[in-house]
């Protein structure tokens, strides 16, 4: 195709999740309620972890960072989707789309590293309790979360470097409600087979690899607990099965979006709802709000706030 015959693409059009008006109304209400829950739940966690000195340990730093990422992931896509559903104006500028892809991969990459770090933290706490304090030192506290952010950034830059200079010459319809590489690449006016392969190799295998790593580490934790005593197993099973549920729900859609070879069945955009609206609620609910120390900390903060209000 001769690209000089076409004006360059300045914006993309989202098809959204559905074109039926009643379904759109339902989605609008559904996503508004879920988004508010995501924001409140995760802000509560970030706030508690930051302001309660008793929670300044690796596990809670990781949880706080996870909540922060969930909050950002949701904010990156859901408000735009809500406003599109409300106004019917489903466009995004070219720069906006590239920006969304970039931030999405920084956050997604960091979240994966954080989930691994959390599994390692649990593994050390349960299987090597005597070494916990030496392995999870204050240095580790800083290293793990910042390492997660750096790896997310590298992952995103590495992918975007390949695609920012793709020529676009007309087609600009994205069958989804947010921008991501698989759809973006397909719209370029050159043969993008190599690009698609690169995305599958980079994002796809990272998702798949992390997923297996997590399943293996949780299984080995369960196995250790099981060998030690049968009494501890049921408790560990209930905690870890909750963690495994989140891992499956988070990685399932990623693996689908990047590795599903049949683009004619557009299930990926529906699965993406899991990552932007469901797991950001499950993470605080499962990892944090069920946790005894966390509940105590929230009660402490609450009473401190009440006292502060009474002073003036």
Contacts to ligand NAG by CB under 6 A: 46, 49-50, 61, 64-65, 68, 141-142, 145-146
CB-based contacts of 55: which residues, under 8 Å, 6+ apart? 48, 49, 293, 294, 297
The residue among 46 and 81 lying less far from ligand NAG, judged by its C-beta, is 46
CB-based contacts of 206: which residues, under 8 Å, 6+ apart? 109, 112, 155
Q: How far is the CB of 30 from ligand NAG (least distance, A)?
A: 28
Question: What CA–CA distance (Å, rounded) separates 74 from 39?
Answer: 8
The residue among 45 and 273 lying less far from ligand NAG, judged by its C-beta, is 45
Q: How far is the CB of 102 from ligand NAG (least distance, A)?
A: 21
* Look-up of token digits 């304090």: 133
**Are 261 and 40 in contact, with CB atoms under 8 Å apart?**
no
- CA-based R_g, the chain, Å: 22
Q: How far is the CB of 264 from ligand NAG (least distance, A)?
A: 41
Question: What CA–CA distance (Å, rounded) separates 226 from 228?
Answer: 5
The residue among 141 and 278 lying less far from ligand NAG, judged by its C-beta, is 141
The residue among 32 and 72 lying less far from ligand NAG, judged by its C-beta, is 72
For strand 91-93 and strand 11-14, is the pairing parallel, antiparallel, or unpaired? antiparallel
Q: How far is the CB of 200 from ligand NAG (least distance, A)?
A: 31
Q: How far is the CB of 107 from ligand NAG (least distance, A)?
A: 14
The residue among 68 and 250 lying less far from ligand NAG, judged by its C-beta, is 68
The residue among 145 and 182 lying less far from ligand NAG, judged by its C-beta, is 145
Q: Which residue is nearest to ligand NAG (CB)?
A: 64
3-state secondary structure of 207: helix
Q: How far is the CB of 283 from ligand NAG (least distance, A)?
A: 13
CB-based contacts of 41: which residues, under 8 Å, 6+ apart? 67, 280, 281, 284, 285, 289
For the beta carbon of residue 239, count every other beta carbon within 10 angstroms.
18
């Amino acid at each position: 195709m001769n690209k000089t015959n076409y004006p360059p693409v300045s914006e993309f059009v989202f098809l959204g999740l559905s074109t039926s008006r009643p379904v759109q109304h339902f989605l609008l209400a559904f996503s508004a309620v879920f988004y508010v829950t995501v924001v409140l739940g995760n802000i509560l966690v970030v706030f508690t972890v930051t302001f309660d000195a008793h929670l300044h340990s690796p596990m809670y730093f990781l949880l706080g960072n996870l909540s922060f990422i969930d909050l950002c992931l949701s904010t990156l896509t859901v408000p735009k989707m809500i406003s599109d559903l409300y106004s019917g104006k489903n466009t995004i500028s070219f720069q906006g789309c590239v920006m969304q892809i970039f931030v999405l991969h920084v956050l997604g990459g960091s979240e994966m590293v954080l989930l691994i770090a959390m599994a390692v933290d649990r593994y050390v706490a349960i299987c090597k309790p005597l070494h916990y304090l030496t392995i999870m030192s204050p240095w580790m506290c800083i290293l793990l979360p910042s390492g997660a952010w750096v790896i997310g950034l590298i992952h995103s830059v590495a992918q975007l470097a390949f695609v920012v200079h793709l020529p676009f010459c007309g087609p600009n319809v994205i069958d989804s409600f947010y921008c991501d590489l698989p759809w973006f690449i397909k719209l370029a006016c050159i043969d993008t087979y190599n690009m698609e392969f690169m995305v599958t190799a980079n994002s796809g295998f990272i998702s798949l690899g992390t997923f297996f790593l997590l399943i293996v580490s949780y299984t080995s934790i369960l196995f250790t607990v099981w060998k030690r005593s049968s009494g501890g197993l049921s408790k560990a099973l209930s905690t870890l099965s909750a963690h495994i549920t989140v891992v499956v729900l988070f990685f399932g859609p990623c693996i689908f979006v990047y590795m599903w070879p049949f683009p004619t069945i557009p299930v990926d955009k529906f699965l993406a709802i899991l990552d932007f609206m469901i797991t950001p609620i499950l993470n605080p609910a499962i990892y944090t709000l069920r946790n005894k120390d966390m509940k105590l900390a929230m009660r402490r903060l609450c009473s401190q706030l009440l006292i502060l209000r009474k002073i003036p």
